[in-house]
Structure 1
Amino acid sequence: MTRIVIAADSFKGSATSQQVGEYLTNGIYQVDPEASVVTVPMADGGEGTVASVLAALGGERRITRVTGPVGQPVDATWGWLPDQHMAVIEMAAAAGLNLVQPDYAPRTASTYGVGQLIDAALTAGATTIYVGLGGSGTTDGGAGMLQALGARLLTATGDPIPRGGAGLRELALVDLSGLDDRLARVNLVALTDVENVLTGPYGAAAVFGPQKGATPEMVQELDANLTHYQAALAAQNAFSLSCPGDGAAGGTGFGLRLLGATLAPGTATMLKLTQLAAKLQVADLVLTGEGRVDGQSLMGKAPIGVAKLAHAAQVPVILIAGSVGDDLAAVYAAGVDLVLSSTVAPMTVNQAIAQTESLLMNAGATAMRAYQLGH
């Protein structure tokens, strides 16, 4: 009996990590109905983080209504593991890019709902809270999150600054005395695989602002506002002005550090949380994958983390991707034994998305046949 672990990330816009695992499993069973398949959905701190942890460790899927990035009510999903007093939050669930589309709101989108999710986790009794920082639609430095947790960020006239990155320019007074005192008793961990600082040419606005609809003029404005915001908070809290990771999620990494959070690598932390290493000890084959693989996949992507872990355990790895780009030599050097494209004929992206299930089933079958060739 062949023992297979499937630890794939989502195929963005096509299938969740759970669905990818299901489709690949069905393909494997077409070739080997007796195979033993264990699915461990993967994520790197962005979309799918909650589902990945809950699938691996159990727990409860909870929904909290929060204020969305442009003020609308949003029902945000998060994970609660009562036995461990641990909560898992995806920032995107409360302030994600999908929640500001199609018009975007680069100047006014707020992280207020993220603070409300943290508050919900604290109220549940969490002693550890993981916050995945992927997929945000905001550039407010986490200011809205701080406000939701009791911080007073005030204008010169004593009014709360407007929400969003544009409002940061009006910040004249910082009062953190009202911050929720439960934060001092919780282990807060922010998951990110970017090392951008808060401001400057490699900062939150310059690098990620255009992805959130910011024009070049808006990028300059938001960067200047984040600089002003950083200076105001740094003066009070003796913060480093250039901590890698501060620029994650539109500067929310910086805001979370102010709350006492540790910035941790998303993929590596998720591999530990899902206890993947233990599952690999009894595996004969690992399948991983994501929507696209190329040289950029080496920059903290979950499938490469899976491959490295499997390589260390001397388990062969097949990586399945919707599209395959350049620099595969580096991907193979990272521990992947075979890269397969699930798209095997010329087709548009929309056509591929429409056929995701059948394409991944076929890829699962092909991967199983490739493994059998070597055994």
Structure 2
Amino acid sequence: MPSLLFASDSFKGSISSTRASELLSLVAHDEWAQVDLRSVAVADGGEGTVEALVNALGGELVHVMVKNPCGADIQASYGLLPNGGAIIEMAAASGLPLLSTNQRDPRFTSTFGTGQLIADALDRGVTDISLAIGGSATNDGGMGAMRALGARFLDADERELAGRGKDLIRVRSIDLSGMDERVSQVHFHVMCDVDNPLVGPQGASCVFGPQKGADEVVVAELEKGMKSYSSVLAKTFGIDVSGDPGAGAAGGLGAAARLFLGADMVSGIEYVLDLVHFDELLEGVDVCITGEGHADGQSVRGKVISGVARRCNRHGVPCVALVGSMDSSATILLEHGVSALVPTVIECGSVEEAMRYAEQNYILAAKRIFSLLKIGTQLT
């Protein structure tokens, strides 16, 4: 009797991590009269991380009214975990998809709503907070989130700033006297899969600013502001983290989380796999099926597929990646523990069609995988 483990990321906008496992289970039972199936929801710190961990660990979702990146009231959610911890996706409150195209300008966006989610978790007495900081619409150096927790960012006349991207250049001092004292009693983790520094050609403004609506002129303005802001941070905390890997994540929230919250930076996928005890789930497994919406050369850098494949490789378990789409650069995954790559879409068509038929295509791809696995078991 074959033993299979399903551990897929979500296919953004179409299939959740949990639903992927459900579909794989349906097809597996069609192929084998007897089969040992195990499944776990996983994510890498991006979209779907809260849902994956709440489902995997038996937590609960909490819904809170917060400010979106432009200051409008919205309802956002985060997860409370059974161990007294919380998992927060900053994209739920400060994410790019929350804004229309004409609202996307990192000079005018803030992470304040993310800070509100943290404050709510503190109100509920959590002792451990994990921040998944992918998908932000912001480039405020984390000022907004820290303002929501009591920090004040002052200009040359000691007037408090709103803490948006355009305010970076105006910060002259930081008042920490009103910072929420409970922060020091909580262990913070920042789940991050990028290693960009705070400033410079590979920094927050230059690399991610254009993705958030900034043109060349705005990028230059933000970079100048971030350099000025980083010097104020260094003066305030007595340490310069501007060149640290991950400091530039989420428009500088990575740097702020480390300095203001004492957070440690962790690989999102490695952290999630440890939380769900993935290595234990691999024991006795014949094949693991993982996947994500799109695979390319960047998938080897902290994404679900590469993280799962590495763990499988250590345990001698073949790992098959079932992906929504892929390009030729994705074949590098075959050098990093992935045994086979199978895309769901096999005909040319529009993205809209692929999304419309996502589950149907996923099931067909699963059938192709399991039919080949059956041949393999018969040969051996």
TM-score class, shorter-chain normalisation, is over 0.9
**Is the counterpart of residue 304 in structure 1 residue 303 in structure 2?**
no
- Deviation track 1:40-81 (CA, whole Å, cap 9, x = no partner) reads 122111111111111221111111111111111121111112
- Deviation track 1:177-221 (CA, whole Å, cap 9, x = no partner) reads 211111111110001011101111010010011111111111111
- After superposition, the Cα gap between the structure-2 partners of 1:37 and 1:102, relative to the gap in structure 1 and judged at 3 Å, is farther
Structure 1 gaps, min length 5: none
8 Å contact kept, 1:108–1:163: no
- Deviation track 1:123-165 (CA, whole Å, cap 9, x = no partner) reads 1111110000111111101000110000011123332213310
8 Å contact kept, 1:29–1:365: no
> Within 5 Å, which residues of 2 pair with 1:295-334?
295-334=297-336
Q: Supply the distance in 1 between the matched residues of 2:302 and 2:28 (Cα, whole angstroms).
A: 28
- The higher-RCO structure (CA 8 Å, 6+ apart) is 1
The match for 1:102 is: 101
Deviant stretches of 4+, over 4 Å: none
8 Å contact kept, 1:4–1:36: yes
Q: Supply the distance in 2 between the matched residues of 1:153 and 1:211 (Cα, whole angstroms).
A: 26
Identity between Structure 1 and Structure 2 (%): 38
The match for 1:228 is: 228
The match for 1:252 is: 253
Q: Supply the distance in 2 between the matched residues of 1:327 and 1:67 (Cα, whole angstroms).
A: 39
Q: Supply the distance in 2 between the matched residues of 1:174 and 1:194 (Cα, whole angstroms).
A: 27
The match for 2:281 is: 279
8 Å contact kept, 1:10–1:291: yes
8 Å contact kept, 1:30–1:365: no
The match for 2:123 is: 123
User: What SS does the aligned partner of 2:86 have?
Assistant: strand
Structure 2 gaps, min length 5: none
- After superposition, the Cα gap between the structure-2 partners of 1:65 and 1:282, relative to the gap in structure 1 and judged at 3 Å, is farther
8 Å contact kept, 1:56–1:275: no
**Is the counterpart of residue 145 in structure 1 residue 135 in structure 2?**
no
8 Å contact kept, 1:85–1:126: yes
The match for 1:166 is: 166
Q: Supply the distance in 2 between the matched residues of 1:33 and 1:339 (Cα, whole angstroms).
A: 26
> Within 5 Å, which residues of 2 pair with 1:52-201?
52-81=52-81, 83-103=82-102, 104-201=104-201
User: What SS does the aligned partner of 2:63 have?
Assistant: strand
**1:239 partner amino acid:** I
**2:338 partner amino acid:** V
**1:286 partner amino acid:** C
Q: Supply the distance in 2 between the matched residues of 1:117 and 1:157 (Cα, whole angstroms).
A: 30
Q: Supply the distance in 1 between the matched residues of 2:65 and 2:36 (Cα, whole angstroms).
A: 40
Q: Supply the distance in 2 between the matched residues of 1:214 and 1:25 (Cα, whole angstroms).
A: 44
Deviates more, 1:286-295 or 1:137-146: 286-295
Q: Supply the distance in 2 between the matched residues of 1:328 and 1:113 (Cα, whole angstroms).
A: 35
8 Å contact kept, 2:69–2:95: yes
8 Å contact kept, 1:297–1:331: yes
Q: Supply the distance in 1 between the matched residues of 2:198 and 2:33 (Cα, whole angstroms).
A: 51
8 Å contact kept, 1:287–1:318: yes
Q: Supply the distance in 2 between the matched residues of 1:92 and 1:242 (Cα, whole angstroms).
A: 24
8 Å contact kept, 2:299–2:330: no
The match for 1:46 is: 46
Q: Supply the distance in 2 between the matched residues of 1:36 and 1:353 (Cα, whole angstroms).
A: 30
Q: Supply the distance in 1 between the matched residues of 2:353 and 2:135 (Cα, whole angstroms).
A: 24
Deviates more, 1:340-349 or 1:129-138: 340-349
**1:10 partner amino acid:** S
Q: Supply the distance in 2 between the matched residues of 1:26 and 1:361 (Cα, whole angstroms).
A: 9
The match for 2:364 is: 362
User: What SS does the aligned partner of 1:144 have?
Assistant: helix
**1:91 partner amino acid:** M
For residue 328 of structure 1, report the CA deviation from its aligned partner: 4.5
For residue 33 of structure 1, report the CA deviation from its aligned partner: 5.0
Q: Supply the distance in 2 between the matched residues of 1:373 and 1:317 (Cα, whole angstroms).
A: 17
Q: Supply the distance in 1 between the matched residues of 2:321 and 2:176 (Cα, whole angstroms).
A: 47
The match for 1:31 is: 31
For residue 30 of structure 1, report the CA deviation from its aligned partner: 2.7
Q: Supply the distance in 1 between the matched residues of 2:284 and 2:50 (Cα, whole angstroms).
A: 25
For residue 329 of structure 1, report the CA deviation from its aligned partner: 4.4
| TM-score using structure 2 length | 0.95
**2:159 partner amino acid:** D
8 Å contact kept, 1:198–1:246: yes
Deviates more, 1:97-106 or 1:32-41: 32-41
Number of matched pairs: 374
Q: Supply the distance in 1 between the matched residues of 2:337 and 2:172 (Cα, whole angstroms).
A: 51
Q: Supply the distance in 2 between the matched residues of 1:13 and 1:217 (Cα, whole angstroms).
A: 32
